Amino acid sequence: MSILQTIKDKVRSRSIHVSYVDLGSCNGCDIEVLACLAPRYDIEQYGIYVHNNPREADVLIVIGAYTPGWQEKLTPLWEKIPDPKAAIAVGNCPISGCCFNRRGAYIDPPVSKHIPVAAEVPGCPPRPTEILAAILSVRDAVFANWEGRQR
Amino acid sequence: MAASIIWYLREFFRPGWLKKFLFAKTAPLTTPPYFRDFPEPTGKPCQHALFCMMVCPAPGAIDVVMEEDGWRPRIHKGHCIRCGLCVEACPNGVLRSGRILETRKAEGTAFIVTFRISIDPDLCTGCGNCATSCPVNKQLDPQIGAGGHSSNDEVIMRVLDGDVHVLHEEKCTGCKTCEVSCPTRAIQIARILEGTQQPQKGGGQ
Ligand code: SF4
Ligand code: SF4
Ligand code: SF4
């Protein structure tokens, strides 16, 4: 690994920009993502910033069970995110549909059918620490030496 | 002047302060031991009572499967909502999660299951299949034969004068054999799961 790459990795690992999108959920997981921003967990001390703008995001946090309204919207949103990027499914909803997954329901989980998901955080809702740990592990797995692995 | 600038520089570039400023300060990435996490096995043998599956509110979160060394509940992450009801409902203490088992012991809470037998008299033909197939009946009155007639009034149900009569609903174990053997689906077994709490010794509140 070149020195430039090492510096890039170092900087990038302290500057992860997160965008989150709720595909139809009970709002419980949104509250837990919000709790990550609060002083108790303070996500910014790890160099993770929540912007909610896909064009400057590295990580997309996906919450919710994929309602029909998202059919034409989620994939374009995912494509707007510049590489390197990773999606994290937070909560049971994007994994299994959780309590909304009844027979004949309109939702269409899992979200990994629609966009590539790098990590899943089960729980209804998951603890903020679990969300944080997932973002940190994705950071190490997806963003480290990204240019080197592209070649 | 110079001394004061140096003083400020030294003040702002204290190594401890820089470290605090640049690196993560709090360590919240630990889970406290009382957190009600996904249920985990305690190692006690599962008796296949299936109370966990009965009480679980989340679709597809728990099933009880046969493995080499016996029955075992399996929790599916991504489905389980960590409500802890299965831990509380299990009569054999097979699962543990957070402080649930301790709380259950301290407060004397439990889930009990009762079964209710309902027979639709319009559909029932009085064939006695239910009374004959019931394994509890068979134990109580080994003489019970086709037709479901029995002279023993300890049985759960028996046929009398062409009609089936339920005598001891409370002995039903909920196996639903009768439901399966009834040709007209006249008999239905309802499982009723209810939470109980024993009054505290020493008065409580
Ligand atoms: S996983 Fe549970 S808490 Fe999270 S959005 Fe779905 S239903 Fe709500
Ligand atoms: S903790 Fe709740 S949701 Fe999870 S398996 Fe047990 S009963 Fe089901
Ligand atoms: S459910 Fe089983 S135990 Fe209960 S009455 Fe029917 S056969 Fe008998």
The residue among B160 and B97 whose pLDDT is bigger is: B97
Contact B41, B72 (CB under 8 A): yes
Cβ of B30 and A132 within 8 Å?
no
Determine the average pLDDT of the residues in B3-22: 84
pLDDT class of B27 with cuts at 50, 70, 90: low
pLDDT confidence of residue A142: 81
The residue among B149 and A19 whose pLDDT is bigger is: A19
State yes or no: pLDDT of B204 exceeds 60. no
Residue spans per domain, chain B: 40-110, 118-189
Cβ of A46 and B82 within 8 Å?
no
Tell me the nearest-neighbour CA distance from B30 into chain A, angstroms.
7
Determine the average pLDDT of the residues in B109-130: 86
Return the minimum-mean-pLDDT range out of A66-80, A113-127, B164-178, B190-204.
B190-204
Q: Ligand 2 mean position to B192 CA, how many Å? A: 18
Q: Assess whether the C-beta atom of B39 lies below 6 angstroms from ligand 2.
A: yes
Q: Ligand 3 mean position to B180 CA, how many Å? A: 10
Cβ of A123 and B59 within 8 Å?
no
Residue B120 has φ and ψ, to the nearest 5°, of -85, 110
Q: Assess whether the C-beta atom of B82 lies below 6 angstroms from ligand 2.
A: yes
Return the minimum-mean-pLDDT range out of A26-30, A109-113, B39-43, B144-148.
B144-148
Any CB–CB contact under 8 A between B56 and chain A?
no
Separation in Å, CA A53 to CA A26, A61, A104, B51, B129: 22, 12, 33, 47, 67
B134-142's contacts with Cβ under 8 Å and 24+ in sequence apart are B134/B177, B134/B178, B135/B173, B135/B175, B135/B177, B136/B171, B136/B172, B136/B173, B140/B171
Indicate the average pLDDT of chain A.
Answer: 87
Indicate the average pLDDT of chain B.
Answer: 84
Highest CATH level, class, for B40-110: alpha beta
DSSP string spanning B41-82? E-SPPP----HHHHH--STTSEEEEEETTEEEEEE-TTT---
pLDDT class of B78 with cuts at 50, 70, 90: confident
State yes or no: pLDDT of B145 exceeds 80. no
Give all domains of chain A, ordered by start, each with its CATH number: 16-142 (3.40.50.12280)
Q: Which of A96, A97, A133 sits opposite B29 (nearest CB)?
A: A133
Q: What is the topology classification, in CATH, of domain B118-189?
A: Alpha-Beta Plaits (3.30.70)
- The 3-state DSSP class for residue A14 equals coil
A25-48 pLDDT tens trace: 899 999 999 988 888 888 888 888
